[in-house]
Amino acid sequence: MMLSRYLCTLGLIALVACSATEPTPEAQSSGVEVEGGSSAPTAGAQGGGDGGAGVEPVAGVVMGGAPTAGELVGGSPEGGAEGGAEGGAEGGAQGGEPMSAGAGGAPAGGSANPPTTHVYPGATEGQVILSNAPRPCERRTTISPYLPDEAGHHAGSILTPSSYPFTVSMIEYTLEEPPDIPTCKSELAHRLELSVLSAEQAPPASPSSEALRHISLELPQAMAPTERRVILQNLADPITLNEGERLLVSVSLASEGADHLCIAACEDEPARREAEFWSNAPQAPYDWAELGSFGLTSELMISVIGAE
């Protein structure tokens, strides 16, 4: 895997740290896609600073079900999209503060291993955002595959609700194009996988047969290049997590020639143990390993949006 920082590289991983200040729409374009369609290819908004420019067709295919559907609400994505271009940047509609500090909020006392997933208020009443990374993030990085050996390998987060049942209706993540890595191309088609895990279950080698529930979504190539592509994937069939269950969300970091996807991560706090993973394979059977085993402390900026 490659993690790339603006000024250094670490072995197979290239970690790209962004400035503490989020880019403005003038300095960095932001593409926001709300993806899906209940019975036909869906339409999502992609483009500039108003959340409505450049409508493109998108598709999400759910295994054993119908394509997913999505729409923009009031001109901004429901979860509060990153990038500063949509109303309600990271952290949702209520200032980005965690809803609770002990069970699901910011770690108390700067713990080296925050106990659980952050819980943030969403953009609408009753909506909740789960994220291992803090929202907003002050120190952004990106994670990408080392080509050709790691083309299509997945970066994934395990997200754990603070209370149950929890119904997941949307997934949010960001694909970046840091200026010093010209091979990062956020518009590439890729796959999103969701796996429901039991309380103690490790990421499964074959999610379709080993997870409690598994969904695979194929996301098409964007119609126009964007330096930052925020994905908001609606689920036509929401996932309900029952007592103790967790959700593994993984994104295939696809490649095309020398180009590849780079997913956003955050360095604001140490990563939780057994929460951030690399698949070591483009498809099942996977050989999951914690990002920490590569010397990485970043948390993937993957969020799930739903209701308790």
For 111-146, write each residue's pLDDT tens digit.
Answer: 344 447 999 998 888 899 999 999 999 999 999 999
> Are 13 and 143 contacting, i.e. CB atoms less than 8 angstroms apart?
yes
> What distance in Å separates the CA atoms of residue 82 and residue 103, rounded to the nearest whole number?
24
Number of H helices, E strands in the chain: 1, 21
More confident residue, 49 or 208: 208
Return the amino acid letter for 106: A
pLDDT band at 226; cut points 50, 70, 90 = confident
> What distance in Å separates the CA atoms of residue 293 and residue 9, rounded to the nearest whole number?
16
Q: In this structure, what token pair is assigned to residue 87?
A: 């109303």
The bridge status of strand 31-35 relative to strand 228-241 is parallel
Closest CA to 225 of 258, 182, 171, 266: 182
Percent of the chain scoring above 90 in pLDDT: 56
pLDDT band at 180; cut points 50, 70, 90 = confident
Report the pLDDT averaged over residues 242-255. Answer: 97
8 CB burial (10 A radius; 0-12, 13-18, 19+): exposed
Residue 191 has pLDDT above 60, yes or no: yes
Where are the alpha helices (H) located in 137-279, listed in sequence order?
207-210
Q: What is the CA radius of gyration of the chain?
A: 17
pLDDT band at 88; cut points 50, 70, 90 = very low
Residue 89 has pLDDT above 60, yes or no: no
Domain boundaries, the chain: 30-138+149-279
**Count of other CB atoms within 10 angstroms of residue 41:** 12
pLDDT tens profile 36-57: 433 222 222 222 222 322 223 2
pLDDT band at 10; cut points 50, 70, 90 = very low
Residues 6+ apart with CB under 8 A from 19: none
pLDDT band at 13; cut points 50, 70, 90 = very low
Q: In this structure, what token pair is assigned to residue 265?
A: 């991560």
